[in-house]
Amino acid sequence: MDKFLIRGGKKLKGEIKISGAKNASLALMPATLLASGKYELYNTPNLKDVNTMIKLLSSMGVTFERNNTTLSVNTFRVNKFEAPYEHVKKMRASIYVLGPLISRYGKAKVSLPGGCAWGPRPVNLHIEAIKKLGAKIEIDRGYIIAKAKKLKGAKIVFDIQSVGATGNTLMAAVLAKGSTKIENAATEPEITNLIEMLISMGAKINGIGTTILEIEGVEELHPTSIKTIPDRIEAGTMLIAGAMCGGKITITNCEPKHITSVLLKLKEAGAKIKISGSSVTISAPKIIKPVDVTTEVYPGFPTDMQAQWISLMSLAKGNSKIIDTIYYDRFSHVPELQRLGANINLIENIASVTGSKKLTSAKVMSTDLRASAALILAALAAKGVTEVFRIYHLDRGYEEIEKKLRSAGADISRVASEEY
């Protein structure tokens, strides 16, 4: 197993190119099940989660070819309609195959994702919505078994705005008979990217970017080519690296309007931000000001940036409160950040942080994707050499993070480790 060795305290300087968005790719790839043929998915990041989705779809008969960031997909020979436990347990987003399989093929067998490091993450909204569209669903020994002759449009009102349930319902409704209305839909950019893809395949969808989506089912869709949006969480993570390490970095190939909430908070923390087209330059503040954050659905501050914000606040001059309203238990980074000297008091979903003048190196362990990112950030700013174990979590969602950070002057290397 690999670990990172990070010698903290280096100022960052230079440009970092942002990859395509993991969470968009994980929705666009299963959407190819909706019509037979050849697709090109541009700006697809090369990540462990994307490769897990490739393996899952390959097990159904889909074939892939990668040329740099273009993923060519061929869905002519889909002959299996199952997402087995071995894939779903690795990646919850595997549930995205449920909607397209049931609407296109009238059957789907998808393993339930089970528990998660962030506490319970149910899929009840996905199941209820697909049922509303007329599918018969039973849960049998850990599997969702769905059947339908032809889905029928329906009105679906979500209690909670859910990215995954909105994506799945959209992919089911586009081929249903009649019209579907989704109320309280998620408006995350990854969903907008999916809607753009579906529309370019011939789907009829109104309300793009809003919480009310109206879909008029069509008989058939056709393959398409689409560009994956830039990864707004990678962008936010790199900007926080810039803020924590002094110096000045520019992130390129990003979509600044997708990270407005993060940019506003970074400005409040004292960073200077300059936007130019698809680039954002951050000049680190001399003194990091404490800034409270409450995670919200888009366009609010993303839960996927909560851990990284706690790292930044660990170096602020004063006290801040970080509240996660989306995932109450998503704080496994807190005890690890404390090893680096961060002063954090966690009560339920509220982290109260008292900034320290400096963090110091330690051995720490990655526990999930964004928690790992938070540790890397803290280690980049900490005095001494930090060892970060179990970095396979990080490889799920950050493409070549160490190379990108090194190109901006960070001292970070990946080495094999017996200890993990």
5, 116, 145, 385: the active-site residue: 116
Q: Which of residues 21-40 bind ligand UD1 (CB under 6 A)?
A: 23, 26
* The binder of ligand UD1 chosen from 163, 244, 245, 334 (CB under 6 A): 163
Decide: is 160 part of the binding site for ligand UD1 (CB under 6 A): yes
Q: Map residues 277-316 to x or -, x wherever contact with ligand UD1 holds by CB under 6 A.
A: --------------------------xx------------
Is residue 116 flagged as an active site residue? yes
Taking the least distance from each CB to ligand UD1, the nearer of 12 and 173 is: 173
Q: Give the shortest CB-92-to-ligand UD1 separation in angstroms.
A: 6
Q: Give the shortest CB-25-to-ligand UD1 separation in angstroms.
A: 9
Q: Give the shortest CB-203-to-ligand UD1 separation in angstroms.
A: 20
Three-state SS annotation for the chain: CEEEEEECCCCEEEEEECCECHHHHHHHHHHHHHCCCEEEEECCCCCHHHHHHHHHHHCCCCEEEEECCEEEEECCCCCCCEECHHHHCCCHHHHHHHHHHHHHHCEEEEECCCCCCCCCCCCHHHHHHHHHCCCEEEEECCEEEEECCCCECCEEECCCCCHHHHHHHHHHHCCCECEEEEECCCCCHHHHHHHHHHHHCCCEEECCCCCCEEEECCCCCCCCEEECCECHHHHHHHHHHHHHCCEEEEEECCCHHHHHHHHHHHHHCCCEEEEECCEEEEECCCCCCCCCEEECCCCCECHHHHHHHHHHHCCCCCEEEEECCCCCCCCCHHHHHHHCCCEEEEECCEEEEECCCCCECCEEECCCHHHHHHHHHHHHHCECEEEEECCHHHHCCCCCHHHHHHHCCCEEEEEECCCC
Q: Give the shortest CB-178-to-ligand UD1 separation in angstroms.
A: 24
Taking the least distance from each CB to ligand UD1, the nearer of 104 and 126 is: 126
Q: Give the shortest CB-120-to-ligand UD1 separation in angstroms.
A: 7
* The binder of ligand UD1 chosen from 50, 194, 326, 401 (CB under 6 A): 326
Q: Which of residues 120-139 bind ligand UD1 (CB under 6 A)?
A: 121-126
> How many residues touch ligand UD1 (CB under 6 A)?
21
Taking the least distance from each CB to ligand UD1, the nearer of 190 and 402 is: 190
Active-site amino acid positions? 116
Write out the residues near ligand UD1 by the rule CB under 6 A: 23, 26, 92-93, 121-126, 160, 162-165, 186, 190, 303-304, 326-327
